[in-house]
Every structure is written in structure tokens, then in C-alpha cells.
């Protein structure tokens, strides 16, 4: 009896004890844990918030109920939501197959009521009452009827970007009511509506709507803000004297709406240490449009070698390569660093094109004893085969080999070149009476030049006839088992007929 009691006790230790929706194991090392939390504006009322334990043997499905506070609404579940059937439903379930952490997200909705006066309408988002989450930026577009022009937005306009622009935005931080106002264009007159993008403004005649006699030549002046430049005028620009000039004129032969466009510009300040210089784009300060990719070339003096780029190097492609690029997303200051080659040593500078890298000896500049035979290894990324070595390649054993050597008789700069293999789509289908079993039916991607096996299998009472479509590179269009060489996007079909 004593042994039986011990066995029963051991079994009890391994069993799970259920309580409501929570099944807590008495062997906590094997429990799965579900951690539940919520943002401001509501709570998870079932199973509650906190950390809950479930038996892994059960695959327990747990009810989830998110309850918003007054004035809020449920948005979605976030976190480890892979087993939640509907992340946008406040009442749903989660199947606990692992340790999960989830959050119920709530937002404070705000209403905006939009209307317009006679002479036009609000076409985006429309007219009426709309509900948005707190902080949403809502686009507004007011469109005048023929013979009318937009004047301004009135009402709760505190967060409207530009009350005088027919196309603008409003930020939803509260309940708002706004009106788009229009007026009739007087007889014999026409309307000019001006606006601008971020980064500047139209200072002459201003922004908004202006009335002129037909034929009036109106001065236009666009003034960029600090850190921006004027790009051009867009819209009804047919009578603008020069759409690329910040100061120009427009001849008012009709009702026109125009926009002044601006772009962010950034300064790149370049310098170098003793022993070399930056030959492209040079040393000093240069101004570029945001997003411009700028070539950088650092050239070492005799007896020196390039080390690296330092400073604001976050967008430099390769800080160890003397020839590289920098993408202008901000104002940057960078320095090209050089060092003197030690007596009796020579320098090897290595770099690579897109699609791979030099893994041995690495990328950058390395000093070796004169006459040293240095191992070179170039490793290609997927889809980018190695092409060759270029630069000071006279002592490279095989310029076409990814693994080779270079004999260091002088200072050398070399580049590992990679080329992208184009990929093409092969679409495979079949008629009634059979199917394509290799590679299957559907669309597949292959590298250029790849030879793909084709196998067509006929159903009972049918036989294979041929391949049709883009069959120019099929080895034998009459063979059920053959190959196709992928040199472009191809669509082919396996054809079957009923046997007599």
C-alpha cells in the first residue's frame, strides 16, 4: 500500500488543475505563459491583465475580451498575435501554444463635421461627420464649382495646416466642425489659388485665392524656408513665364490653381588628414538635395594609405573603402583618414561592388612586407556571382577567380566585382488529360540561364502531345520529359489528347 500511495502522489504532481479558463500546471517548468496588457483607454476584462499559466499539453483556447473606457474604442491586439483569429475584434480568442505577450490597443475617437458654403464642396473626405483616432492627420480638399473660388476654412481650424489652401490637412486632437467657404467670381474676373508644399511659402501674392481681371499679369514669388530650396510650380502652369523660377509671373486668362514646391537640402562638409585628399567631390562644404547619393573618392599621397571615413558615417556604404558613396538625409561632416606606410611595407586597399564582399583579407587598407603573397577571397551574395578583380591587378594570379592571390611588390588598390543575375518567371499550365508534375503548375522564379526539368504526365486514356507557348528554349517540345533554358519570362502549356 505504501508503494501505491507514492505512485498516486507522483501522478498527482504531474497533473494540471483547472480553474475557470486558466489551467495551471503543478510542474511550472513546462507551463506556457500568457502576458496581457492594454494601452490607455480600456482594459482586458477576460481573462484579465497580468500573467497567466496554461498547460502545453492542452493547446488551451483562451477567451479575450477588451473593454474600452467611455469615449474610447478598441483598435487591435498587438504582440504575439499569430493564433488570434481576428486581431481587430475586441471579443476573440487566442490559442496558447507557447509563451505569448499581447496588448489590447485603444484609441480616443474624435468627430469632424465638414460642410461648405454655396459655390463648391469638400471632395476629400467629403461632407458630413467622420470619426478618426486621436492624432490622425486628415487630408482636406475643397473643390469650387465653375464660376466660384475657394476663400478659406473656418470653424475649429487650430490644427489645419493652411486655412487659405483648398488642399491641406487637419490633425485630429479633438472634436471639430469646419466649413469650406467659397465666393462667386465677379463678372469679367478670374481666380488664382496659390498654395505650397512643406519647406516654404508663396509670399507674393500670398497663399489662398485672389481675384484679377482677365489678362492681368501677376507676380509670383516663392520663398523657401531655411534648409530648403524652391523646385518648381505645378498645377495650372500654362501661362507661368518660368515654372522653374522662384520669382516669375502668371498671366490670368482663366481660373488657375498653382502650387510652389520645395525640397530639403543638406550640407556635406568634407576634410582629410595628412597623407591624402578627397578628390571626389573635393574638400569643403557642398549642398545636395535630400536623398542624393554622392560619390566619395579618397586618394592617398605617395607613402601613405587610406584608413577609413569618420564623422557622420551612418549612410556611407563602406567606411573602409576609399571609393564609396554617402546618402544625403541630413547635414553631414566626414573626414578621410590616411596613415603613413611603415618603412619596408606596402599597402593593399581592397573594396567591392554591390553583391558581395572581400572576406580575406577583408575590406579596407592593409600593410604587408614587400613581396608577401596575400590570399584574396571574394564572397558573392545570393544571386550575384563573382565577375573579376579590377584595379592594380598585374600580380593577381587569376583575376577571374574569386579565390586567388596577389604578390605585394608595391602599393595596390583592387576591387572585387559582382554582377546581378536577372531572374525570370516561368508559368506552367496544362490542358485536360494530364498535368505537369515537374516543376509543377503555376509560376516559378529562376536565374537567367538556369536549365529547368519539365515532366508532363498523362491521365488514364490520355496521351501527351507537345509543349506550346514560349517553347523556343525547350530541348524537345514533343517530349513529355525534357528541359527548358530560362532566358526570359516564359509561359508554356503541356497539351494532352484522349487516346483512341
Q: Is the pLDDT of residue 428 over 90?
A: yes
Is 478:456 a contact under the CB 8 Å cutoff?
A: no
pLDDT for 272 equals: 97
Mean pLDDT within 82-88: 92
* Structure confidence at residue 426 (pLDDT): 94
pTM over 0.75: no
Mean pLDDT of 199-224: 93
Percent of the residues in the chain that have a pLDDT greater than 70, as a whole number: 93
Average pLDDT of the chain is 89
Could you give the CA distance from residue 98 to residue 79 in angstroms, rounded to a whole number?
13
- What pLDDT score was predicted for residue 26? 41
Q: Could you say which of 2.60.120, 3.10.20, 1.10.10, 1.10.1200 is the CATH number of the domain covering 189-265?
A: 3.10.20
Strand partners, 30: none
Burial class (CB within 10 angstroms; exposed 0-12, middle 13-18, buried 19+) of 115 = middle
* 427 sits in which H/E element: strand 423-430
Cα dihedral value 476, 481, 482, 488, nearest 10: 100
- Which residues have a Cβ under 8 Å from the Cβ of 400 and sit 6 or more positions away? 388, 389
Q: Strand, helix or coil at 476?
A: coil
pLDDT higher than 70, residue 162: yes
pLDDT for position 30: 56
Instruction: State pLDDT tens for residues 248-291.
Output: 999 999 999 999 999 999 999 999 999 999 999 999 999 999 99
**Position 23 pLDDT exceeds 80:** no
Predicted local confidence at residue 119, as pLDDT: 94
pLDDT at 57 over 80: no
Q: Say if residues 72 and 42 touch (Cβ distance below 8 Å).
A: yes
Q: Name the one residue in this structure whose C-alpha cell is 525547350.
A: 474
CA distances for 132 relative to 75, 107, 109, 384, angstroms: 11, 9, 5, 47
Name the band, by pLDDT with cuts 50, 70 and 90, for residue 14: very low
Looking at residue 58, its pLDDT comes to 59
pLDDT per residue as tens digits for the range 445-495:
998 889 999 999 999 989 999 999 998 999 999 999 999 999 999 999 999
Instruction: Give residue-wise pLDDT tens across range 292-303.
Output: 999 999 988 888
- Model pLDDT, residue 21: 40
Check whether 353 has a pLDDT greater than 80.
Answer: yes
The backbone region for 41, taken as left when phi is positive above 0, alpha when psi lies in -120 to 50, beta otherwise, is left
How far apart, in whole angstroms, are the C-alpha atoms of residue 286 and residue 294?
10
Summarised one tens digit per residue, pLDDT across range 213-227 is 999 999 999 999 999
Amino acid at each position: 500500500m505504501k508503494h501505491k500511495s507514492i505512485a498516486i502522489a507522483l501522478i498527482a504532481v504531474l497533473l494540471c488543475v483547472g480553474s475557470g479558463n486558466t489551467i495551471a500546471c503543478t510542474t511550472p517548468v513546462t507551463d506556457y505563459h500568457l502576458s496581457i496588457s492594454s494601452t490607455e483607454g480600456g482594459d482586458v476584462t477576460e481573462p484579465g491583465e497580468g500573467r497567466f499559466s496554461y498547460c502545453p499539453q492542452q493547446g488551451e483556447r483562451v477567451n479575450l475580451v477588451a473593454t474600452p473606457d467611455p469615449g474610447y474604442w478598441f483598435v487591435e491586439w498587438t504582440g504575439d498575435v499569430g493564433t488570434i483569429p481576428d486581431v481587430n475584434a475586441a471579443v476573440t480568442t487566442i490559442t496558447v501554444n507557447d509563451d505569448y505577450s499581447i496588448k489590447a490597443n485603444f484609441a480616443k475617437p474624435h468627430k469632424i463635421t465638414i460642410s461648405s458654403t454655396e459655390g463648391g464642396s469638400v471632395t476629400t473626405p467629403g461632407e458630413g461627420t467622420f470619426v478618426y483616432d486621436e492624432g490622425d492627420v486628415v487630408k482636406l480638399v475643397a473643390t469650387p464649382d465653375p464660376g466660384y473660388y475657394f476663400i478659406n476654412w473656418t470653424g475649429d481650424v487650430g490644427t489645419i495646416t493652411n486655412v487659405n489652401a483648398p488642399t491641406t490637412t487637419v490633425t485630429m486632437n479633438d472634436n471639430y466642425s469646419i466649413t469650406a467657404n467659397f465666393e462667386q467670381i465677379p463678372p469679367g474676373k478670374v481666380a488664382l489659388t496659390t498654395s505650397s508644399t512643406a519647406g516654404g511659402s508663396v509670399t507674393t501674392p500670398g497663399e489662398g485665392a485672389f481675384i484679377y481681371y482677365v489678362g492681368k499679369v501677376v507676380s509670383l514669388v516663392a520663398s523657401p524656408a531655411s534648409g530648403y530650396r524652391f523646385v518648381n510650380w505645378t498645377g495650372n502652369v500654362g501661362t507661368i513665364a518660368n515654372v522653374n523660377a522662384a520669382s516669375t509671373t502668371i498671366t490670368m486668362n482663366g481660373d488657375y490653381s498653382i502650387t510652389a514646391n520645395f525640397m530639403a537640402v543638406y550640407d556635406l562638409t568634407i576634410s582629410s588628414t595628412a597623407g591624402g585628399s578627397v578628390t571626389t567631390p573635393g574638400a569643403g562644404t557642398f549642398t545636395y538635395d535630400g536623398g542624393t547619393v554622392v560619390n566619395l573618392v579618397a586618394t592617398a599621397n605617395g607613402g601613405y594609405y587610406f584608413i577609413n571615413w569618420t564623422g557622420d558615417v551612418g549612410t556611407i556604404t563602406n567606411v573602409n573603402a576609399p571609393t564609396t558613396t554617402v546618402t544625403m538625409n541630413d547635414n553631414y561632416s566626414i573626414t578621410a583618414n590616411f596613415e603613413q606606410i611603415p618603412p619596408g611595407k606596402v599597402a593593399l586597399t581592397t573594396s567591392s561592388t554591390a553583391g558581395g564582399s572581400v572576406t580575406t583579407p577583408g575590406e579596407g587598407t592593409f600593410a604587408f612586407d614587400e613581396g608577401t603573397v596575400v590570399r584574396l577571397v571574394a564572397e558573392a551574395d545570393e544571386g550575384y556571382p563573382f565577375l573579376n578583380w579590377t584595379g592594380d591587378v598585374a600580380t593577381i594570379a587569376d583575376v577571374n577567380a574569386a579565390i586567388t592571390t596577389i604578390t605585394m611588390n608595391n602599393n595596390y588598390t583592387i576591387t572585387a566585382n559582382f554582377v546581378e543575375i536577372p531572374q525570370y518567371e516561368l508559368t506552367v499550365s496544362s490542358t485536360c488529360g494530364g498535368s505537369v508534375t515537374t516543376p509543377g503548375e503555376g509560376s516559378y522564379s529562376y536565374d537567367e540561364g538556369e536549365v529547368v526539368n519539365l515532366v508532363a504526365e498523362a491521365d488514364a486514356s490520355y496521351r501527351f502531345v507537345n509543349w506550346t507557348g514560349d517553347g523556343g528554349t525547350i530541348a524537345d517540345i514533343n517530349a513529355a520529359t525534357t528541359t527548358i533554358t530560362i532566358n526570359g519570362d516564359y509561359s508554356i502549356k503541356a497539351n494532352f489528347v484522349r487516346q483512341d
